[in-house]
Structure 1
Amino acid sequence: MNGIGSRIREERERLGLTQRAFGDIGGVEPNAQGKYESGERTPKADYLAAVAARGVDALYVLSGVHTPVEHSSLNAQEEQLLSSFRLLQEADQAAVRQLLGSLAERAQLPPARAGGYERGMYGRLSGK
């Protein structure tokens, strides 16, 4: 399924929301949200405007093309990261994308606790 429905689902999952929560943002019932994602129904403009206001890339949902990030909105570290990424071979870029995706998923999980301390990404303990 390559269309608006699959891109709506992709954006919902990127934001870590359930169909119910996402439907609430868009002002629709969960069954309508499911129909949007399956491609059975097409959302209206007010739905798209509401979800876009909460972080959905509406251009991507409608066209399949991500909204470009303005270069001026990048800080120095982001610029350096992007410049370095662009120098990599395609296979290495794919590996970096996979690594970042995994790290981003892990960052959304609650931190593991060990004796009142939070265990960091690589198992180190930090006093909190």
Structure 2
Amino acid sequence: MVGAGIRLRQERERLGFSQSDFAALVPVTRKTMFNWESGAGQVASDALAVWAGSGLDVLYVVTGQRALSAAGLSARHLRLLSLFDSTDEPGRAAIEAAAQQAQARA
């Protein structure tokens, strides 16, 4: 099971921030950011509130469920997003390639 620290890292990377830049938004040190992402500490709720303003999906970080469900995405879409987020970079590339091939055939 993917923990909150890993989901925080996934969200930070999805938003295109380095650890240092994301930490500076709060502000905390890069070491604190590393600890939160590695599960060595609990993410501060005030930090989540600040990052939410930058697009962080707080619900996903805390619960593992995407907030996009409120936007009307089906359970199938949410499962695909969850699989995409929980895999490594080669897995993400494979998912994207399969989707592009299917789109080209359509």
Partner of 2:33: 33
Secondary structure class of the residue paired with 2:42: coil
Q: Distance in 1 between matches of 2:30 and 2:39?
A: 14
- Name the one with the larger strand percent: 1
Q: Computing the radius of gyration over CA atoms, which structure comes out larger, 1 or 2?
A: 1
Q: What is the RMSD computed on CA atoms of the aligned residues?
A: 3.2
Distance 1:100 1:47, change over 3 A: farther
Q: TM-score, normalised by structure 2?
A: 0.66
- Name the one with the larger helix percent: 2
Distance 1:23 1:100, change over 3 A: farther
* Percent identity of equivalent pairs: 34
Distance 1:46 1:7, change over 3 A: same
Partner of 2:56: 56
- Count of aligned pairs between the two proteins: 84
5 Å-filtered alignment, 1:1-128, equals 2-67=2-67, 68-71=69-72, 97-99=95-97
Which whole-Å deviations, capped at 9, do the CAs of 1:44-99 have from their partners, x for residues lacking one?
1100101111100000000000002524xxxxxxxxxx9xx97xxxxxxx999423
Q: Distance in 1 between matches of 2:24 and 2:46?
A: 13
Distance 1:51 1:62, change over 3 A: same
The runs of at least 4 aligned residues of structure 1 exceeding 4 Å deviation read 94-97
Q: Distance in 2 between matches of 1:98 and 1:51?
A: 27
Q: Distance in 1 between matches of 2:45 and 2:18?
A: 21
Return 5+ residue gaps in structure 1 as ranges: 72-81, 87-93, 103-128
Distance 1:101 1:51, change over 3 A: farther
Q: TM-score, normalised by structure 1?
A: 0.55
